[in-house]
Structure 1
Amino acid sequence: MTAPHDVPGVRSFIGVDAGSANLREADHLIRDLLDHLALAPGTVACTHLIRTDERRSTAVSFALPDAAAAEAVWERIAGWERPDVGAVLGERSYGAQQAARTAASAAAEHARRSGGRAVVYPGVERLTGTVSVADLLAWTAVDRITVVGAPMADGQGPDPATPVLTRDHVRPEWRDGRLTLALMPAAGGALAPFEVPNPTPCCADHA
């Protein structure tokens, strides 16, 4: 199922590596960049665990709604005076070489929709408290739900009426071109995201 908030027109991807050591730091980086870069509505921001012989980092990527939005963001990045940051947009790069290569890997994963843990995506602001499976799919860019330990029958997910305890922390991942949310059984027949808020509580001070 493709959610109505999916953004098929996205075609410009920016990768950024600021040396984040873990998911919590990368989540904070995304929130900081949302403010600093004035990212357009509809932007999808992901974290990526990148491991190479020369660098280990949790880089981030941004899928912008169009080329004009990407150009505006790129200009702001180029004026960002942080020597530890590397960034890429297409064939262009900024900052330290190793960091830029890591950023390029993150952007490429996102562009292929083959990897990336989404922190910011259309509809995420509505995922607070408890929502139903049906509403989660209808309100957000998430277009597939899986339940850990419960294989889908005939490609069907959980009952649409099943409550989801969001814990205000919902991080779907790109898998095979689809933004997929892994859930696990919770008390009372409900479901909850497989990723718990600890150890990556995300930025209540940025809300």
Structure 2
Amino acid sequence: MTPHAPAHAHALTVDADIRDLRGADRLLRRLAAELDLPEGTFGCTHLVRGDRPRVAVSLSLPSDPYLRTTWERLEADGHGELSAGLPDAFGRAVVYPGASALTGTTTVAELIAGSAISRVTVLGAPGTPDPGTRMVTRDHVRPQWQQGELLLAATPARGGVLVPFESPDPTPCCADH
């Protein structure tokens, strides 16, 4: 699969007043299923700061007709406040080409070849990992857009494997307070 940037010209943002990433992830997966989004769609989360911090979601679709149809359906179903374009260029991808196949253990090379992810970086390590390095996906791969590339941050784990930096079950900060 050839990595490519989302079609910013065919993008919309949904602000459903969601307060956490898990809720935004659920909304994106639900929208992808309900709307039967076409191949080539990117669904991302975006942190909105300011007086009312929240997480908005964006959909970048492969063409204008898909954008219009998706907009109409979202508006009719009342999924939230809609706006044209992306809220920023740093979306965290949840729905993207190849995402559903990133389960179990794969290699860095297979992950890149089979998805829209352009590159894997290892936190605290220079360069890129060896293509043959095993990646334990934990069935939760959330790359982020950086300078037009979809990058996956990973960390080393026991047994010489890598895992995505973002954990599927994070421990809330200050959980006992």
One fold, TM greater than 0.5? yes
Structure 1 residue 38, shift from structure 2 partner = 2.6
Amino acid at match of 1:145: V
Amino acid at match of 1:75: E
Gaps of 5+ in 2: 172-177
Which residue pairs with 1:141 in the alignment? 116
Which residue pairs with 1:162 in the alignment? 133
SS of residue in 1 equivalent to 2:159? helix
Q: Are residues 1:61 and 2:58 paired?
A: yes
Distance 2:109 2:78 in 1: 44
Distance 1:134 1:36 in 2: 32
Which residue pairs with 1:189 in the alignment? 160
Superposition TM-score, scaled by structure 2 size? 0.90
The structure 1 residue matched to 2:93, chosen from 105, 118, 122, is: 118
Which residue pairs with 1:12 in the alignment? 10
Matched pairs, number: 171
SS of residue in 2 equivalent to 1:161? coil
Task: Report Cα offsets for 1:35-71 as digits up to 9, x if no partner.
Answer: 3323222110000111122x21100000000101001
Gaps of 5+ in 1: 91-106, 201-207
SS of residue in 2 equivalent to 1:19? strand
Task: Work out whether residues 46 and 57 of structure 2, in 8 Å CA contact, stay in contact via their aligned partners in 1.
Answer: yes
Q: Identity of aligned pairs, percent?
A: 47
RMSD: 1.7
Task: Work out whether residues 90 and 145 of structure 2, in 8 Å CA contact, stay in contact via their aligned partners in 1.
Answer: yes
Q: Are residues 1:177 and 2:136 paired?
A: no
Structure 1 residue 7, shift from structure 2 partner = 5.3
Q: Are residues 1:76 and 2:47 paired?
A: no
Distance 2:130 2:62 in 1: 32
Distance 1:72 1:38 in 2: 11
Structure 1 residue 8, shift from structure 2 partner = 6.1
Distance 2:94 2:5 in 1: 15
Structure 1 residue 89, shift from structure 2 partner = 2.4
Distance 1:176 1:7 in 2: 10
Superposition TM-score, scaled by structure 1 size? 0.77
Structure 1 residue 128, shift from structure 2 partner = 0.7
**1:87 to 1:9, Cα distance in 2 relative to 1, 3 A:** closer
Which structure 1 residue ranges, 4+ long, deviate > 2 Å from structure 2? Answer: 5-11, 35-38
Q: Which has the higher helix share?
A: 1
Which residue pairs with 1:198 in the alignment? 169
Which residue pairs with 2:174 in the alignment? none
Task: Report Cα offsets for 1:84-124 as digits up to 9, x if no partner.
Answer: x211125xxxxxxxxxxxxxxxx141xxxx30100010011
